[in-house]
Amino acid sequence: MKLEIYDSTLREGEQSATVTFTWEDRLKIIEELDRLGVSCIETGMLTCQRDLEFIRRAAALQLSHSSLSSFGATRRAGESVEDNEGLAMLACAPVSIVCIFGKSWGYQVEKVLRTTKEENLSMIRDSVSFLRDAGKRVIFDAEHFFDGYSDDADYALSVLRTAWEAGADTVVLCDTNGGMLPDVIGMATAAAVSAARETTQQTGQTCNVGIHCHNDMGMAEACSVSAVLSGAVHVQGTISGIGERCGNANLNTLIPVLQLKLGFSCIGQQLGLLTDTVRRINEFANRAFDEREPFVGGYAFTHKAGTHIDGVIKSPRSFEHIVPTAVGNMRNMIISSLSGRSAMVEKMARILPHLDRESPEVAAALEAVRIKEEAGYSYDDAEASLLLVIRQALGIRRQYFQVPHFKVMTDEGSGKEENMRSTAMIKVAVGGMEELCAAEGIGPVNAMDKALRQALVRFYPSIDQMHLTDFKVRVVSGGATAAVVRVVIESTDGVAVWRTVGVSPDVISASWQALRDSVEYMLELRAGEES
């Protein structure tokens, strides 16, 4: 059975406290969602002519899989639809689908809209009919439906019937406050589906039910699944669940659950693009990606315990509920004191595929990792540095550059934090040639990163495609100013993402280790691609 996946990242996502999109971000996100194959992409709330201009830009994109939808509200109480500017803009927007919201909870009607239940029904009827007559496919979001159903089921269902009879083909049940449990969602959705069937029999027109959940109790995905199992055929959510308050139903989780576990068709063959698409959209949103996300996170198929690793090597199904590549992800095995020889053999396979558990190289690599861990290093989240340590232990770590000298200075300027700048001066040597560069940055790590890449780009032009995406510092021993710190840096070249680690009592030194590893790892990647 085919489900309609409706993405509202550009509206609900931007209502998150930490997210703001530029027009270019929005257009790129639309293209990514179309590549993924979602049914419908909401362009955002249409409130002014500037919003309408963006929709025109979006409508000019050459989309292959997705339709665009614009979002708005019903007319106001006591107002005619002809006098409502928002509805007029929706009617002329260059999209085939419009989604409008209205109240379905009597409490909200009386306390927030300050009107009568009868007038609320008229507002919904008039608005849906107006847009339907303008040639639009109309989706109606029944705001606060589940609260309304719990309070007055007859009135909540009358809101749905009114929208269907006025011409909306899909009515979406919204858990706007995010406070419902899955079983309640399921029972109320079943009642709505029954009402849809009755309305279809009476009118002869299509009457579908959709679901829109918020995550205020951490159950948005479970509630959405419950609704689908009760008959909903339209599912709304956002990438990574970003949204107001605690966010919305996470499509990254919902899509594979519905498609792989329950057999519904959501995005078809494009499911293998999910992980890559999600990471790209998080980057456009300028968000640190949560590696613990189910299905698409970096830890989703990461194994650390020796028994788990041994089991996965022998039979992946023993500790993995799906094949990682089904969602475009990959298996990862963390090497630590908890890991055994099987794990190290698996990790070293990309370097020396002929090794077995008894190979002396395996023992040498495990010993090198043990020594590093005793010094405070951890490779749980820094596989790039781990692979460099293994290469070092095997005597095959290539030295792409030397750094005879580097210096970092911080200028406090006027004393204000925003005026504090750092300068880094770095000399590199490659193949007997030297390059000296200086760069200014916001903080010493930013300055070192800029200076190192500027110095190396002459020798390795591809270094210009690399940039840092995250920086974390953790105290691992000692106290106060005498502490030993661990620095983890995340980097990307726009395609791959990798993490490196450095440890030192000096945060600058630890940062430099992680930064240098990051650059070396990228050069190793490119060398592997070219060989």
Return the pLDDT at 531: 45
Task: State how far the Cα of 333 lies from the Cα of 123, in Å rounded to an integer.
Answer: 57
Residue 510 phi/psi, 5-degree rounding, is -60, -40
Instruction: Spell out where 123-199 has E strands.
Output: 137-143, 170-175
Query: What does the pLDDT profile of the chain (531 residues) look like in tens digits?
Result: 999 999 999 999 999 988 999 999 999 999 999 999 999 999 999 999 999 999 999 999 999 999 999 999 999 999 999 999 999 999 999 999 999 999 999 999 999 999 999 999 999 999 999 999 999 999 999 999 999 999 999 999 999 999 999 999 999 999 999 999 999 999 999 999 999 999 999 999 999 999 999 999 999 999 999 999 999 999 999 999 999 999 999 999 999 999 999 999 999 999 999 999 999 999 899 888 898 999 999 889 988 777 787 788 788 899 999 999 999 998 887 776 556 677 788 778 777 888 887 888 888 888 888 888 888 888 877 889 988 998 998 899 999 999 998 899 987 664 555 556 899 999 999 998 999 999 998 888 889 999 999 999 999 999 988 988 888 888 876 555 557 889 999 998 877 889 999 999 988 999 999 999 999 999 988 886 654
Count of beta carbons in the 10 Å neighbourhood of residue 168: 30
| Full 3-state SS string of 241-272 | HCCCCCCECEHHHHHHHHHHHCCCECCHHHHH
Architecture of domain 4-284: Alpha-Beta Barrel (3.20)
Amino acid at 135: G
- pLDDT, averaged across the chain: 91
Q: How far apart are CA 401 and CA 421, in angstroms?
A: 27
Instruction: Indicate the SS3 state at residue 117.
Output: helix
pLDDT at position 380 is 77
CB 490 within 8 A of CB 373: no
Q: What beta strand segments (E) does 395-465 contain?
A: 402-411, 421-430, 433-441
Radius of gyration of the chain (CA): 28
Both tokens of residue 71?
Answer: 């979002």
Domain boundaries in the chain? 4-284, 302-374
Residues 344, 357: Cα–Cα separation, whole Å: 8
Closest Cα partner for 255 from 238, 279, 231, 276? Answer: 238
Residue type, 322: I
Residue 412's pLDDT is 66
**How far is 353 from 346, CA to CA, in rounded Å?**
9
Model pLDDT, residue 433: 94
d(CA 376, CA 512): 16
